[in-house]
């Protein structure tokens, strides 16, 4: 537990260290240099002439993957083919295989591409999001902060708003490299164990997710006018896609945080119902959700261990299954995976058989 200001200060310092510079340019103005698997040098984009970036830029592993996706080159060929063959193929595709030649390159620390994004993408750093949220978080404390390579997740709660062992809070999530929409939603924080139960759950708002992704949608045609965000409130979470006018962010944050009180009341009602609802086969129910959620064997093992710990208090209730997911989530190092398990916990409140809801 720490004041929100400390987390805000950390994001400000991190922003200064990364020193991001966003540049829109044509990718066909670059040559791709690939040293191969044995070389110590990094893959890079080298400008072909005037009009591109002033110097060669190194590609982070994630930016390299984005570049390959843009030109339609299978990433598995990086290890299967000689470096010169890969370099030739990608360079040919840069000149002949791009649907959209324009791109936004997020350069950090001088000359490293952290991300290569679409031409319509509007970047938003974590500090900008948290700075916009700060005026509406008076009295809140940070229960969790996770700064991953691809996304950031922050959970805050209000200690003064505690009832039945649960504390009202909210969750903020963002990606500075384009792998998820900005997310603001209510959470319930369980005081005794620190479990976090978010308002959204599993595939609860599929309209915001790509079929091949997990918890994000990166691009949508047209400027984002918050219509999608307002539709999201019906299903519990607010989403702000990184396209359109960034000046709308402040209004979005204000409305989304205000709406989390309504979300929390709904979430609390579901939780109370889950305490009473009994499952004839809780292990079978969890196995079904594990398959649907595509969890790893290690995640399933931790889930079973968590359920065994929760069983003494919750028996075969739906709440026991829910808490098994949220307890197992605490072992996840990757903030996105932690959030995914928490969301599956919430999904259990809605996706289990109707007779036990």
Q: In the prediction, which pLDDT does 229 show?
A: 32
pLDDT tens for 287-308 read 988 988 889 999 999 999 999 9
The first and second tokens of residue 172, run together, are 């903020």
pLDDT tens for 185-211 read 999 999 999 999 998 764 433 323 222
With a cut of 50, list the residues of the chain below it in pLDDT: 52, 202-236, 355, 357
Per the confidence metrics, is the pTM higher than 0.95?
Answer: no
Q: Which of 265, 266, 256 is nearest to 171 (CA)?
A: 256
125 and 12 Cβ atoms separated by less than 8 Å:
no
Q: In the prediction, which pLDDT does 353 show?
A: 57
pLDDT tens for 54-111 read 578 999 999 999 999 999 999 999 989 998 999 999 999 999 988 888 999 999 998 9
Q: In the prediction, which pLDDT does 185 show?
A: 92
Q: Which of 87, 81, 76 is nearest to 45 (CA)?
A: 87
Q: Which of 143, 125, 159, 156 is nearest to 13 (CA)?
A: 125
344 and 303 Cβ atoms separated by less than 8 Å:
no
Q: In the chain, what are the domain boundaries?
A: 21-118, 124-270, 282-356
143 and 194 Cβ atoms separated by less than 8 Å:
yes
- Tell me the C-alpha distance between 58 and 75, whole Å: 17
Task: Give residues with Cβ within 8 angstroms of 27, minimum separation 6.
Answer: 45, 67, 70, 94, 98, 101, 102, 103, 116
User: What are the backbone angles phi and psi of residue 92, rounded to the nearest 5°?
Assistant: -65, -45
Q: In the prediction, which pLDDT does 349 show?
A: 84
């Amino acid at each position: 537990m720490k004041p929100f200001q400390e987390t805000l200060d950390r994001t400000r310092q991190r922003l200064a260290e990364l020193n991001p510079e966003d540049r829109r340019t044509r990718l066909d103005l670059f040559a791709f240099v690939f040293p191969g698997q044995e070389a110590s040098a990094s893959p890079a984009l080298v400008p072909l002439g005037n009009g591109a970036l002033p110097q060669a830029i190194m590609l982070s592993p994630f930016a390299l993957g984005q570049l390959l996706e843009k030109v339609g080159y299978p990433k598995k060929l990086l290890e299967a083919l000689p470096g010169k063959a890969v370099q030739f193929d990608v360079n040919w595709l840069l000149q002949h295989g791009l649907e959209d030649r324009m791109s936004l390159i997020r350069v950090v620390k001088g000359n490293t591409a952290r991300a290569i994004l679409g031409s319509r993408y509007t970047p938003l750093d974590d500090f900008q999001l948290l700075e916009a949220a700060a005026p509406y978080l008076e009295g809140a404390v940070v229960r969790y902060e996770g700064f991953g390579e691809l996304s950031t997740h922050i959970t805050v709660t209000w200690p003064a708003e505690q009832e039945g062992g649960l504390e009202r809070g909210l969750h903020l999530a963002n990606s500075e490299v384009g792998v998820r929409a900005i997310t603001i939603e209510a959470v319930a924080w369980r005081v005794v164990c620190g479990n976090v139960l978010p308002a959204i759950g599993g595939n609860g708002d599929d309209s915001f997710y790509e079929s091949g992704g997990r918890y994000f949608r990166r691009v949508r045609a047209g400027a984002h006018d918050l219509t999608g965000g307002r539709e999201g409130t019906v299903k519990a979470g607010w989403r702000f896609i990184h396209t359109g006018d960034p000046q709308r962010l402040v209004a979005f944050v204000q409305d989304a945080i205000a709406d989390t009180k309504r979300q929390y009341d709904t979430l609390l009602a579901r939780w109370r119902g889950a305490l009473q609802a009994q499952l004839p086969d809780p292990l079978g129910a969890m196995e079904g959700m594990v398959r649907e959620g595509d969890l790893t064997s290690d995640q399933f093992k931790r889930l079973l261990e968590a359920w065994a710990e929760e069983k003494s208090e919750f028996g075969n209730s739906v709440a026991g299954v829910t808490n098994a997911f949220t307890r197992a989530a605490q072992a996840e190092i990757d903030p996105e995976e932690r959030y995914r398990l928490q969301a599956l916990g919430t999904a259990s409140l809605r996706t289990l058989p109707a007779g036990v809801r």
